[in-house]
């Protein structure tokens, strides 16, 4: 589904180089729920940006569905972004000039015959708990509400892959639970997830967990050290996400 | 949700700034439109005004002044037609007048009679004889130039006289063909029929035309010689030379006591001046508008990055930036042209009324106005396009992630 081979990103900071992502190898298979955590500045967002075709790696290869996205024309990479990947940014993922509903429907402009629709937008807005704010403008929303708008927007075209950078970062436990429930349902329906989180409590949702440290990424064997797993890693794929969440 | 509503939402969001930008375009469009409007008006009037300005001098019988109502030093109307008068001079004075230094053009006119012809006009109709070959005051007023020189039996009629071109009109026992019609002049000329000199003599000889109380019109009688002087010669000097050539009890020379020449020069300079002003406005506006476009694109970076991440192709971004500029340019342009047009419509009556000749400003036709509006819109739209080329290109090349990160 998404494959990274020796993915490296070096940023120039004046004279010194910052190696944000350092020789990362990753192979996300369809239906997986990959979780990434790590300290601030360890390169998580940069890695997600590269996996989503939004940042060009300094070296290494990224394949989405077997397609090397480093070598695509603008039209083709745009198509990958529009059809294959939903992206939830860590910060500010909204257009300020249009309403919540319009924000959610915006990606439909760039994927005309996609599965996006008004009814789907309304449903997603309901699922992220913003039904009463559908006609509000983003500037009137709290940061948690904006985050939920961004999530609904990333899902409007039913992308096969959702890349989410701390999607529940600004949310209270109850809302986080609802969002994770939604993600889990979509995952059970086949959507693949790559998600960055700081909340280790969410680890049981993942089929695989990675930790990043100064650009390096390593897989964490289950159960996670120091985290008490009350649940078998894969059983949360069952359709009753509510039970899974309750057991956390 | 479509591209247009998305664009308009963006424009609405910065209503103040976008209004200012549109206003900038409106100003340019108004400037260009007005420039063309005034130029075409003035240009038309330079040609038409000069040719329709009539005579500089009238050589008339010495007694004539009595009848020259309102023809004093302060008068400013065009001398196109001599006043109706039964004092006449002989046409052979033209040989002497023509030989006076500084006389460029001359043509005789004969007032025949004033007739009641309800079939032709509710008001009395004045009949004049002119010499079509030398006439330089009447024919410039023709709505359409004559296809062939006036032949015997053909007449030129004033604006209020009924009768289409080629139709027949009757005066007493004579029938004439209308060869040409004149533009309105708001003067007695509108109720005048102009015959060839020989036809005029023939008509004058007909019983009942010239009242029996008036002196008979003999062949070779005329009422006035209309003159145009050499602009290089002093107007008073030419008049004095003519007076000197005749007895003061026989003829007198009446001169038009106004000269349009300095004003005319200004009118002729107007188009060039307006063109320069428009050019300066356009040149000055281009960097300003470019700056605004660049500013807009810069502040939209995050938004552009975001829609790029949603799969907006590069050409979509370019089109959006262009389209926004074009919407502002077109809106502003239409507004500017509209306001100018309304303003001109409101003041055009004043322009015309205030003009000495009633013709010194010719209103452009609807087609002309359409053309001018088109040119003005084309210029602002081109300007809008040019100014958004760079911002559009730049916006399309920014890395989506960096754009979001930098301006988050
Ligand atoms: N566009 C950039 N230019 C320069 N340096 C950058 C850029 N983007 C990221 N970096 C640097 O790369 C490193 C990794 O940044 P990144 O945003 O990927 O971290 P992160 O793991 O997402 O952190 P956080 O948990 O705080 O979001 C940081 O040191 C950051 O300063
Ligand atoms: Mg981050």
- B35-69 pLDDT tens trace: 887 777 655 555 555 566 677 788 888 876 544 44
From A37, A45, A88, A214, the mutation candidate for ligand 1 (largest count of ligand atoms within 8 A of CB) is A45
Separation in Å, CA of B333 to nearest CA in chain A: 25
Quick one: B122 and B31 in the same domain? no
B165 domain residue, yes or no: yes
Give the span between the Cα atoms of A211 and A220, in whole angstroms.
7
User: Is the domain of B199 the same as that of B231?
Assistant: yes
Specify whether B189 is located in the same domain as B167.
yes
Is A43 part of the contact surface with chain B (CB cutoff 8 Å)? no
pLDDT of residue A78: 93
Ligand 1 atom nearest to B402, measured from its CA: 1
Q: Is the CB of A41 under 6 A from ligand 1?
A: yes
Among the listed residues A10, A32, A23, A20, the one whose alpha carbon sits nearest the alpha carbon of residue A195: A32
Q: Does residue B10 fall inside a structural domain?
A: yes
CB contact under 8 A, A105 and B1: yes
Confidence of residue B89 (pLDDT cuts 50, 70, 90): very high
H-state helical runs in A6-142: 44-51, 74-83, 100-105, 118-127
pLDDT at A143: 84
What residues in B contact A55, CB-CB < 8 Å?
399, 401-402
Write out chain B residues lying below 8 Å of A102, CB-based. 1, 5-6, 9
Q: Is the Cβ atom of A42 under 6 angstroms away from ligand 1?
A: yes
Domain that holds residue B383: 3-50+264-406
Last residue of one domain, picked from the residues B220, B247, B274: B247
- In 3D, which of B390, B391, B387, B389 has the Cα closest to residue B287? B387
C-alpha radius of gyration, chain A, whole number = 18
B150 and B199 together in one domain = yes
On whether residue B32 sits in a domain, the answer given is yes
- Closest chain A CA to residue B408: A92
- How large is the ipTM? 0.85
End of a domain among B221, B247, B273?
Answer: B247
Determine whether domain A30-53+82-247 maps to CATH 3.40.50.720. Answer: no
Highest average pLDDT, of B42-46, B160-164, B284-288, B401-405, comes from B160-164
Q: Is residue B331 part of a domain?
A: yes
Q: Count of domains in chain B?
A: 2
Tell whether B253 is covered by a domain. no
B10 CA to chain A: closest CA distance, Å?
A: 6
B184-189 average pLDDT score:
79
Whether A154 and A111 have beta carbons less than 8 Å apart is answered as: no
Task: Please answer whether residues A183 and A152 qualify as being in contact, where contact means their C-beta atoms are separated by less than 8 angstroms.
Answer: no
For residue B49, what pLDDT is reported? Answer: 52
Average pLDDT over residues B202-223: 91
Task: Answer whether residue B28 shows pLDDT above 70.
Answer: yes
The pLDDT, as a whole number, for residue B311 is 92
Residue B16 to residue A163: CA distance in whole angstroms: 38
Nearest to B132 by CA among B159, B152, B111: B152
What interhelical angle do B15-51 and B261-299 show, nearest 10? Answer: 160
Using DSSP, state whether A117 is helix, strand or coil.
coil
Which residue is closest to A153 within chain B, CA to CA?
Answer: B310
Cβ contact A171:A125 at 8 Å: no
Instruction: Calculate how close chain B gets to A129, using CA atoms only, in Å.
Output: 22
Q: Which of B200, B222, B247 is the last residue of a domain?
A: B247
**pLDDT in the model for residue B267:** 56
Burial code (b: 16+ CB inside 10 Å, e: under 16) for B283-316 equals: eebeeebbebbbebbeebbbbbbbbbbbbbbbeb
**Is B307 in contact with A106 (Cβ distance < 8 A)?**
yes
pLDDT digit string (tens) for chain A, length 248 residues:
899 999 999 998 888 889 999 999 999 999 999 999 999 999 999 999 999 999 999 999 999 998 999 888 999 999 999 999 999 998 877 888 899 999 999 999 999 888 888 999 999 999 899 999 999 999 899 888 898 999 999 999 999 999 999 998 888 888 898 889 899 999 999 999 999 998 888 888 889 999 999 999 999 887 655 554 444 444 333 444 333 333 33
Share of chain B above pLDDT 90, in %: 34
Residue B251 in this model has a pLDDT that exceeds 80: yes
Question: pLDDT tens digit string along A84-113?
Answer: 999 999 887 788 889 999 999 999 999 988
CB B402 within 8 A of CB B408: no
Do B16 and B89 lie in a common domain? Answer: no
**Residue B407 pLDDT:** 56
- The reply to whether B84 falls in a domain is yes
Domain assignment of residue B256, yes or no: no
What is the Cα–Cα distance from B228 to A20, expressed in whole angstroms? 92
Quote the ligand 2 centre to B167 CA distance (angstroms): 92
Give the DSSP per-residue string, B193-255: EEEEHHHHHHHHTSTTTS-TTSPPPPTTEESEEEEEE-TTS-HHHHHHHHHHHS-TTTEEEEE
Contact B401 A49 (CB under 8 A): yes
The beta strands (E) that lie in A39-188 are given as 59-64, 67-68, 85-88, 161-165
Q: Tell me how far apart the alpha carbons of residues A53 and A217 are, in angstroms, rounded to a whole number.
A: 19
Cβ–ligand 1 contact at A10 (below 6 Å): no
Q: Place B390 in a pLDDT band, splitting at 50, 70 and 90.
A: confident
Q: Which of A54, A80, A95 sits opposite B400 (nearest CB)?
A: A54
User: Smallest Cα–Cα separation from B274: which of B36, B12, B21, B3?
Assistant: B36
| Tens-place pLDDT, residues B309-336 | 999 999 999 998 889 889 999 999 999 9
User: Hey, are the CB atoms on B404 and A74 less than 8 Å from each other?
Assistant: no
Instruction: Out of A192-201, B10-19, B48-57, B287-296, give the one with best mean pLDDT.
Output: A192-201
- The closest CB to that of A55, out of B10, B401, B408, belongs to B401
DSSP A6: E
Task: Report the run of H or E that residue A241 belongs to, with start and end.
Answer: helix A241-247
A46 CA distance to ligand 1 centroid (A)? 6
CA atoms within 13 A on the CB side of A73: 4
| Contact assignment for A78 to B312 by CB distance below 8 Å | yes
Mean pLDDT for chain B overall = 82
Residues B308 and B160 in one domain: no
* Closest of B356, B185, B136 to residue B260, by C-alpha: B356
Specify if B393 maps to a domain.
Answer: yes
Q: Which of A42-56, A230-244, B138-152, B338-352 has the lowest mean pLDDT?
A: A230-244
Give the number of the ligand closest to the Cα of residue A56. 1
Say if ligand 1 is within 6 A of residue A106 CB. no
Nearest-angstrom CA–CA distance, A149 and B160: 76
In this prediction, residues B218-234 reach a mean pLDDT of: 87
Q: Which residues pair with B228 in a beta bridge?
A: B105
Same domain, yes or no: B127 and B70: yes
């Amino acid at each position: 589904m998404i494959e990274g081979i020796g993915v490296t990103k070096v940023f120039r900071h004046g004279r010194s180089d910052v190696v944000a992502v350092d020789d990362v190898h990753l192979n996300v298979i369809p239906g997986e729920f990959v979780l990434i955590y790590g300290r601030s500045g360890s390169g998580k967002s940069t890695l997600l940006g590269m996996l989503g075709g939004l940042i060009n790696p300094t070296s290494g290869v990224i394949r989405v569905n077997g397609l090397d996205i480093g070598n695509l024309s603008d039209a083709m990479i745009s198509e990958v972004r529009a059809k294959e990947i939903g992206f939830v940014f860590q910060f500010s993922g909204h257009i300020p000039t249009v309403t919540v509903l319009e924000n959610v429907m915006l990606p439909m402009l760039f994927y005309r015959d996609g599965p996006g629709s008004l009814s789907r937008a309304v449903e997603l807005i309901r699922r992220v708990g913003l039904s009463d704010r559908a006609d509000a403008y983003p500037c009137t929303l709290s940061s948690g509400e904006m985050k939920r708008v961004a999530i609904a927007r990333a899902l409007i075209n039913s992308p096969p892959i959702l890349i989410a950078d701390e999607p529940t970062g600004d949310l209270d436990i109850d809302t986080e639970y609802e969002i994770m429930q939604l993600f889990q349902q979509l995952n059970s329906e086949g959507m693949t997830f790559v998600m960055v989180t700081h909340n280790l409590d969410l680890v049981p949702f993942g089929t695989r967990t990675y930790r990043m440290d100064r650009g390096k990424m390593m897989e964490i064997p289950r159960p996670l050290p120091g985290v008490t797993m009350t649940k078998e890693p894969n059983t949360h794929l069952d359709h009753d996400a509510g039970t899974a969440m309750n057991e956390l | 949700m479509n591209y247009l509503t998305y664009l308009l939402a963006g424009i609405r969001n910065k209503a103040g700034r976008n209004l200012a930008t549109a206003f900038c375009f409106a100003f340019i469009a108004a400037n260009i439109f007005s420039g063309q409007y005034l130029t075409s008006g003035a240009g038309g009037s330079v040609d038409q005004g000069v040719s329709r300005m009539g005579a500089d001098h009238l050589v008339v019988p010495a007694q004539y002044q009595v009848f020259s109502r309102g023809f004093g030093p302060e008068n400013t109307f065009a001398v196109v037609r001599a006043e109706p008068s039964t004092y006449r001079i002989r046409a052979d004075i033209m040989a002497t007048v023509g030989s006076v230094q500084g006389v460029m053009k001359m043509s005789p006119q004969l007032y025949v009679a004033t007739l009641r012809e309800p079939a032709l006009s509710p008001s009395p109709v004045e009949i004049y004889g002119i010499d079509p070959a030398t006439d330089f005051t009447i024919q410039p007023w023709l709505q359409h130039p004559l296809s062939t020189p006036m032949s015997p039996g053909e007449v030129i009629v004033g604006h209020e006289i009924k009768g289409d071109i080629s139709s027949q009109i009757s005066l007493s026992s004579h029938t004439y063909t209308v060869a040409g019609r004149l533009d309105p002049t708001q003067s007695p000329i509108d109720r005048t029929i102009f015959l060839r000199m020989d036809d005029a003599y023939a008509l004058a000889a007909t019983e009942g035309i010239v009242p029996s109380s008036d002196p008979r019109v003999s062949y070779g009688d005329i009422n006035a010689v209309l003159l145009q002087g050499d602009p290089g010669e002093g107007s008073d000097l030419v008049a004095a030379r003519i007076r000197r050539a005749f007895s003061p009890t026989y003829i007198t020379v009446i001169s038009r006591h106004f000269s349009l020449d300095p004003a005319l020069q200004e009118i002729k300079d107007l188009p060039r001046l307006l063109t320069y002003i428009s050019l300066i406005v356009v040149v000055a506006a281009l960097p300003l508008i470019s700056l605004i476009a660049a500013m807009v694109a810069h502040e939209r970076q995050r938004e552009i990055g975001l829609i790029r991440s949603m799969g907006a192709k590069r050409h979509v971004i370019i089109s959006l930036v262009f389209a926004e500029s074009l919407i502002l340019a077109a809106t502003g342009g239409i507004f500017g042209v509209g306001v100018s047009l309304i303003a001109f419509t409101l003041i055009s009556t004043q322009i015309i009324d205030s003009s000495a000749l009633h013709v010194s400003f010719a209103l452009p036709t609807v087609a002309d106005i359409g053309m001018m509006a088109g040119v003005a819109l084309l210029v602002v739209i081109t300007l809008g396009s040019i100014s958004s080329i760079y911002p559009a290109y730049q916006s399309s090349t920014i890395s989506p992630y960096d754009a979001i990160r930098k301006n988050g």
